[in-house]
Chains A and B, each alone.
Chain A
Amino acid sequence: MTKVLIVDDSKFSQKITYSLLNQYLENIEFLFANDGQEGLEKFSEVHPDFMIVDLLMPKLRGQDLIEKAKQIDREANVIVLSADVQNRVRDVVEKMGVLSFINKPLDEKKAKEICDIIGTGSRGR
């Protein structure tokens, strides 16, 4: 079973992300973290196959979480889901080796994009 860790300080966003992805994916175990620090702890403990990360979060920013996760596992599969539309932020984060940078709000089209990434990654496992 593929494990997907959703790290977002908004329960509202967690719910939308889970609902939309769950429509298209099978055999997925979803895990949740409510801030960056909790996200890092769960990442270290569970070693999820994919981590979906918000950027603006308390305790540990998404950028710092990605950096630390990559230190633990250089091949960590990270997808960023953020409201930040600044081109510079996208450029910096994309250079950190994330699979995709997607702007909130998540809709059907964007959810399918994430599912394609997760589906492809899962099949290659």
Chain B
Amino acid sequence: MADNISREDILTELFNVGVGQAASTLSDIIDKRIGLTIPNVRILDAAKGKIELNKYLQNVAEGAVMVSSISFNSQLEGKVSLLFPADKMHHFIDLCLHETRDEFEDSLEFTDIDFDTIKEIGNIVINSIIGELSNAVNIPVEYTLPDIDVLNDANAEHFVDCEDYRLVLMMFLAFDIEGTEIGGAIVINMTLNSLDDILNKIDKLYNGR
């Protein structure tokens, strides 16, 4: 079996394909070029994952996030959450709907249309990332319906479940849309068995073992 660094590199590359696809998809939706930093995938145990995630929540999102999440089951089992700072979301939603308003709101009040829009965007982005990974390692996933929520005092406990899940895959992304930087995070809370399955497939497919 390859060492952890090598497998992590391959996993990062596989996720980057999906993230690149997701950025391209978002760019299509809002019809504007999106700059995107290439994220590093970090595989952490639940305790370390919570510490890192709490740093993001406090420093970037100041505790208020809009969360779009989808669970997946079948052979791979876990939950993906796409987190965005809530105060940037009105601008982002306007871009998605091709609407403009005189002043950008930074309130945390959202309409049903706002939620519906972000839910569908989250659905498309998460499908890009998890679906491309699924294709690459040839392991199918089945999704549950997406959820959307705004959390005012979010902390890592919302996203990392220590009871059922043991590992956290975390990616921090910075989207630049026309000078507006939106620092997002993708948190994948996955069972150990699922990650083992993925890494074993990576070994077989990419390391010939």
Nearest B residue to A104, CB-CB: B124
> B28, A86: Cβ atoms under 8 Å?
no
Q: Among B25, B113, B140, which residue has its beta carbon within 8 angstroms of that of A105?
A: B25
- Interface set, chain B 129-158, CB cutoff 8 A to A: 131-132, 134-135, 140-141, 143, 145-146
* A107: B residues at CB distance < 8 A: 28
Could you pull out 6 A-B pairs where Cβ atoms are within 8 angstroms?
Answer: A10-B116, A13-B120, A56-B145, A84-B131, A85-B135, A89-B140
CB of B79 within 8 A of chain A? no
Count CB-based A-B contacts (< 8 Å).
52
Nearest B residue to A87, CB-CB: B135
CB of A72 within 8 A of chain B? no
Q: Is the interface of A mostly helix, strand, loop or mixed?
A: loop
Binding site for B on A (CB under 8 A): 9-13, 16, 56-58, 83-89, 104-105, 107
CB of B40 within 8 A of chain A? no
> A11, B28: Cβ atoms under 8 Å?
no
Q: From residue A17, how far is it (CB to closest CB) to chain B in Å?
A: 11
Given A85-B135, A105-B28, does the pair A12, B116 have CB atoms closer than 8 Å? yes
Sorting the interface of chain B by its residue count into under 10, 10 to 19, 20 to 34 or 35 or more gives 20 to 34
* B135: A residues at CB distance < 8 A: 85-87
Contact with A along B156-184 (1 / 0, CB 8 A): 00000000000000000000000000000
* A105: B residues at CB distance < 8 A: 25, 28-29, 124
Q: From residue A78, how far is it (CB to closest CB) to chain B in Å?
A: 20
Nearest B residue to A55, CB-CB: B143
CA gap between A20 and B135 in the complex, in Å: 29
Q: Is the interface of B mostly helix, strand, loop or mixed?
A: helix
CA gap between A57 and B143 in the complex, in Å: 10
CB of B81 within 8 A of chain A? no
Q: Among A12, A58, A89, which residue has its beta carbon within 8 angstroms of that of B120?
A: A12
* A11: B residues at CB distance < 8 A: 113, 116
Q: Among A10, A12, A56, A85, which residue has its beta carbon within 8 angstroms of that of B132?
A: A85
Given A86-B134, A105-B28, does the pair A10, B143 have CB atoms closer than 8 Å? no
Q: Among B28, B29, B120, B128, which residue has its beta carbon within 8 angstroms of that of A10?
A: B120
**A-B interface, 3 closest residue pairs, ranked by CB to CB distance from nearest:** A85-B131, A83-B127, A10-B120
CB of B96 within 8 A of chain A? yes
CA gap between A88 and B143 in the complex, in Å: 14
* B119: A residues at CB distance < 8 A: 10
* A87: B residues at CB distance < 8 A: 135
> A56, B128: Cβ atoms under 8 Å?
no
* B194: A residues at CB distance < 8 A: none
> B113, A85: Cβ atoms under 8 Å?
no
CA gap between A11 and B119 in the complex, in Å: 10
Given A85-B128, A104-B124, does the pair A12, B113 have CB atoms closer than 8 Å? yes
